[in-house]
Chain A
Amino acid sequence: MTPIRMKTSMGLVPRLFYGWRRGMKWIGIFLAVSGPGIIVMVADNDAGGITTYAATGARYGYNLLWFLVILGPVAYFVQEMTVRLGAVTKRGHAEAIFDAFGPFWGWFSLLDLILTDWLTLITEFIGMTAALSIFHVPPFVTVIVVSLVMFFMVLQGRYWTWEKIAMVFCVVNLVYIPCAVIVRPSVSEIVRSGLIPNFPGGFNNQLFFFLMANIGTTIAPWMVFFQQSAVVDKGIKEKDVPWSKLDTALGSAFTVLVAGFVIIATATVLKGVAVDSAAQAALAMGGVNRWLGTFLAVGLFDAGFLGAICISLASSWAFGEVFGWAHSLNNKIKEAPWFYGMYILLVASAGVVVLIPNAPLVLITLFVQVIAVTLLPAALVFLILLLNDSERMGSLKNSRAQNIISVSVVGIIVVLSTLYGVSTLFPNLLR
């Protein structure tokens, strides 16, 4: 009897049994492969991101929820390219740029990444200290405790452990869901005004600025570098790429969900209020309901922490790749002293800046957006060019359809993020 005939002649119970076993096997493989995609996408909702969503909800109510739904697939299309590139080349993005385009573009990308990451790391510390100050925790205590936790997360010597701890913080990000439930939003209103594309008040300069800000928080240069390095450090193989894509797709859905709930919560309670920071939104919402303010503050701290652990790793990985240092989280500190030294230096220096009295923190926050704009187009253009290198990528190179989508997505991101950066420098240009 051939295997096919055996299968067709199986009874219902054996078929269900084999189906269940196959399903469990798939779930097992997915759980083993998943991580980088979900973590990078959730960490994308960092302290700056939560502030942008809170401000968007307070200014435009539910009206821009549809835009977030569009941004989910956009983030997915960019990030899934890093999965394929990392799995095939076994190189992080920084090293891949050096190798493919030479030292000029390599150094430009690496130094710009370090500067962008360091400044962004400062903004994450600003978010975390602001969030915990709502619970009367002094900033220096926040900085010291957070830095120590971040050190212990990497110094335990296993990528797997780091990833699982990071996943726990990803789950904490779901705190925004009860936040939105507590305020009892009108579901019909959300569907009617939020999910149908519309431009509240017409397509004016201020709306354009908010749309750009939302794009700016959804696609960041560090994400490209982080996920590719994480894929390499985790040892994702070419055969795992479909599962890693699923990981990334779930992550992008997760990030849109969380961002959507932040907007719903702030839109319901703070509509019409000018929101400058997520901490300010948490304080204002705490006045309405104690738990609401608490959840929002916990979420802001978690967002800042997730952003901080990923951004600092992205930089250390990039430096390790280029300088040829041992640069895996699976290395002990004695085996990779430069890699961990770089990590500790970045975290400690960013934390210290936040504690400097009268440090120009607002200026730093604005400067991050401008510097990121100089790196983002380069990182994305290199990504597409590398994905079209048929000699290296083989069957996983970009198809024609993928190129049409990715070039369109990258083109739009480059134009809008550039306008966002320029409008940050010249605020009256677009308002």
Chain B
Amino acid sequence: MGLFARIREINQKFRTPHVKMTPGVKVALFMLRIYLLLLVGILFFKFFSLVAGK
């Protein structure tokens, strides 16, 4: 089986999250997304600052 077929199979296997989506879990996951977006934003800012030679 090829790599991409295997990845599709994994995605299919774990398609449904099994943790109970309580409000606490939803808030935690939302905050995590925001946190990671901010962090990636900072990384990109640093990268482009370096490229621009600032």
Chain A residues with a Cβ under 8 A of chain B = 98-103, 105-106, 108, 322-324, 370, 373-374, 377-378, 381, 384-386, 388-389, 391, 414, 418, 421-422, 425-426
Q: Which of B6, B17, B39, B46 contacts A323 (CB 8 A)?
A: B6
Give the CA-CA distance A410 to B19 in the complex, in Å.
20
Using a Cβ cutoff of 8 Å, how many contacts connect chains A and B?
Answer: 56
**Distance A414 CA – B38 CA, assembled complex (angstroms):** 14
Inter-subunit contact B19/A100 (CB<8 Å)? yes
Report A-chain residues with C-beta under 8 Å of the C-beta of B29: 101, 105
Decide: A426 near B28, CB < 8 A? Known: A322-B10, A373-B39: no
Shortest A201–chain B CB gap in Å is 29
Selected from A98, A370, A377, A385, the residue in CB contact (under 8 A) with B10 is A98
Of A378, A389, A425, which is within 8 A of B19 by CB?
A: A389
17 CB-based A-B contacts, threshold 8 Å: A98-B10, A98-B14, A99-B17, A100-B17, A101-B29, A102-B15, A102-B16, A102-B17, A103-B15, A106-B10, A373-B39, A374-B40, A377-B32, A385-B25, A385-B28, A425-B42, A425-B43
- Closest Cβ–Cβ distance, residue A81 to chain B (whole Å): 15
Cα-based distance from A98 to B35 in the complex (angstroms): 20
Give the distance in Å from the alpha carbon of A430 to the alpha carbon of B16 in the complex: 43
Residues in A whose Cβ lies below 8 Å from that of B17: 99-102
B36 and A374 within 8 A (CB): yes
Q: Measured between alpha carbons, how far is A323 from B8 in the docked complex, in Å?
A: 11
- The residue in chain B whose Cβ has the minimal distance to the Cβ of A390 is B20
Which residues does chain A contribute within 8 Å of B35, judged by CB atoms? 377, 414, 418
- Pick from B11, B28, B46: contact of A381, CB under 8 Å: B28
Q: How far is the CA of A270 from the CA of B41 in the complex (A)?
A: 40
- Shortest Cβ distance from residue B24 to the other chain A in the assembled complex, whole angstroms: 8
Question: Chain B at the A interface: mostly helix, strand, loop or mixed?
Answer: helix
| Chain A residues within 8 Å of B14, by CB | 98-99, 102-103, 106
* Set of chain B residues within 8 Å of A323, measured between Cβ atoms: 6, 10
Q: Cα distance A418–B42 when bound, in Å?
A: 11
Task: Given A103-B11, A391-B20, A426-B46, decide whether A378 and B36 contact each other with a Cβ distance below 8 A.
Answer: yes
Bound CA span A41–B20, Å: 32
Query: Which A residues lie within 8 Å of B24 (CB)?
Result: 388
Expressed in whole angstroms, the Cα–Cα distance for A356 and B23 within the complex equals 50
Q: Which residues of B contact A108 (CB under 8 A)?
A: 36
| A100 and B10 in contact, given A370-B43, A425-B43 (Cβ under 8 angstroms) | no
CB closest chain-B residue, reference A377? B35
Q: How far is the CA of A251 from the CA of B13 in the complex (A)?
A: 36
Q: In the complex, which residues of chain A have a beta carbon less than 8 angstroms from the beta carbon of B36?
A: 108, 374, 378
Chain B, range 2-54, C-beta contacts under 8 Å to A: 6, 10-11, 14-20, 24-25, 28-29, 32, 35-36, 39-40, 42-43, 46
- Whose C-beta in chain B lies nearest to the C-beta of A373? B39
In-complex Cβ contact of B42 among A106, A378, A384, A422 (8 A):
A422
- In the complex, A388 Cα to B24 Cα: how many Å? 11
Instruction: Quote the shortest CB–CB distance from B7 to chain A (angstroms).
Output: 8
Chain B residues contacting A106 (CB-CB under 8 Å) are 10, 14
Cβ contact within 8 Å between B39 and A378: no
